Amino acid sequence: MNVPRILRWAAPLLLVAGLSLVVAACNDDGDKTTPTSEPAVTDEAQVTPTEPADDDHADDDQADDDHADDDQADDDQADDDQADDDHADDDHGEEISFDAASATITVDGDNSDWAAIEGATIPMEQIEIPEGLDWDEPGSLDPIEVTLRVATDADNIYVLMEVPDDFDFNIEDHNLSPSPNVMFRIDEPAAPHMGAGDDDLETSLGIVDIWHWEIDCDAGIMSGGGDAGSGDDPDCNLDDEFAATPEDREDDGGGDVANPDAENSLAGVWEHTARAQGAGTDGTWIFEMSRPLQTGDSEDAQFTSGATAHIALAYFDPDEGAEGWSDTGHLVSAENGWIEVTLP
């Protein structure tokens, strides 16, 4: 049954569809960081200071000026309101960017080797299902802030996703355990919602790489990997996937186009800080993952020193409903656009 798999990522896509053009405009990737502030400095230098009033009559003029200032202030306020409206329409958050560290990490579910590595706080929230879409209404979840850290060494990229949430784990039913997901841009035009543009969700702008983990193994157990020719992890369900549009998400090698280089070289181990205290205890999920920088698989993002990795996160919380997380209820980072991480 493909539909649920699709909807898991389709939901954020449709919600942020209205954002993607703006995100693209704001983000514009390689050009975005080009300094554009110099012209503003020039403009400021051309401002002529107002001369102080020097007689009684000038007071009236000043009053008029004050009134003009008020009008100007009103105009400014109107502009601000317009800006707020525009921003509300855009509905996307702050752009997030940070530097990955240079480090070799042991993927074991113990986050102590990240202690000196700075990351970023990533706001994540549930999507609202757009009107007109015949999707199941998900259970309600509060927004959260996830900590994301990234490191590389000569061979691997390491990702640490720390999620503040209570401990729920059921090895018999992964919908009753959390599901962490990391997405990377492969093709530059691809948007952080599975690759399609907001104006046409059925047309791919490029493909994205997805580490999709539906937890089927216990804490401390190495997940990921699998047979050559597929991104599927048959044991622990840390799958290496790709998507071209919301309706086209597959394990690597599972798409319509043959991919003899498909592989899964992901590694992931999870832990929870309150696991010993049992179900429902508040704490932090630790999802520690890695992958070789280069995989030779066209359905993976490839990472090089000095480049920028474009990342987005998703998190499914089993507390969403009695049967655990649903396909449409997950928390996503996509409203912040791509998280830009500069690799050392």
- C-beta atoms surrounding 78 within 10 Å: 10
Closest to 235 in 3D by CA, of 246, 256, 221, 220: 221
Tokens of 225: 């990997």
Q: Does 317 bind Ca ion (CB under 5 A)?
A: yes
Contacts with Ca ion, 155-194, as mask; x by CB under 5 A: ----------xx----------------------------
Q: Does 110 bind Ca ion (CB under 5 A)?
A: yes
Residue from 198, 214, 240, 320 touching Ca ion (CB under 5 A): that is: 240
CB of 198 or CB of 325, closer to Ca ion: 325
Q: Do the bridges between strand 144-152 and strand 101-102 make them parallel or antiparallel, or are there none, so unpaired?
A: parallel
| Stretch near Ca ion under the rule CB under 5 A, chosen from 67-75, 83-91, 105-113, 193-201 | 105-113
| Stretch near Ca ion under the rule CB under 5 A, chosen from 62-70, 79-87, 93-101, 228-236 | 228-236
Number of residues that bind Ca ion (CB under 5 A): 17
CB of 72 or CB of 106, closer to Ca ion: 106
| Stretch near Ca ion under the rule CB under 5 A, chosen from 11-19, 76-84, 221-229, 291-299 | 291-299
CB of 17 or CB of 107, closer to Ca ion: 107
Angle between helices 3-27 and 56-90 (to 10 degrees): 150
Give the shortest CB-208-to-Ca ion separation in angstroms. Answer: 9
Give the shortest CB-299-to-Ca ion separation in angstroms. Answer: 4
Q: Does 319 bind Ca ion (CB under 5 A)?
A: yes
Name the DSSP class of 335. G
Closest to 155 in 3D by CA, of 244, 49, 267: 267
CA gap 125, 332 in Å, rounded: 5
Tokens of 166: 């209570």
The three state secondary structure string of 188-216 is CCCCCCCCEECCEEEEECCCEEEEEECCC
CA gap 20, 12 in Å, rounded: 11
Task: Say if CB 330 and CB 315 are below 8 A apart.
Answer: yes
Give the shortest CB-296-to-Ca ion separation in angstroms. Answer: 9
Tokens of 297: 């698989």
Give the shortest CB-274-to-Ca ion separation in angstroms. Answer: 11
Residue from 214, 251, 297, 340 touching Ca ion (CB under 5 A): that is: 297
Q: Does 113 bind Ca ion (CB under 5 A)?
A: yes
CB of 166 or CB of 233, closer to Ca ion: 166
Tokens of 232: 């599927």
Rounded-to-5 percentages of helix, strand, coil across the chain:
25, 25, 50
CB of 106 or CB of 304, closer to Ca ion: 106
Q: Does 106 bind Ca ion (CB under 5 A)?
A: yes
Task: Say if CB 241 and CB 250 are below 8 A apart.
Answer: yes
Give the shortest CB-157-to-Ca ion separation in angstroms. Answer: 13
Give the shortest CB-130-to-Ca ion separation in angstroms. Answer: 26
Name the DSSP class of 223. B
Centroid of chain to Cα 44: 37
Q: Does 233 bind Ca ion (CB under 5 A)?
A: no
Q: Does 232 bind Ca ion (CB under 5 A)?
A: no
| Stretch near Ca ion under the rule CB under 5 A, chosen from 53-61, 260-268, 320-328, 329-337 | 260-268
CB of 232 or CB of 300, closer to Ca ion: 300
Task: Say if CB 206 and CB 187 are below 8 A apart.
Answer: yes
Question: What is the C-alpha radius of gyration for the chain, rounded to an integer number of angstroms?
Answer: 24
User: In the complex, which residues of this chain contact Ca ion (CB under 5 A)?
Assistant: 106, 108, 110, 113, 165-166, 209, 231, 240, 242, 252, 263, 297, 299-300, 317, 319
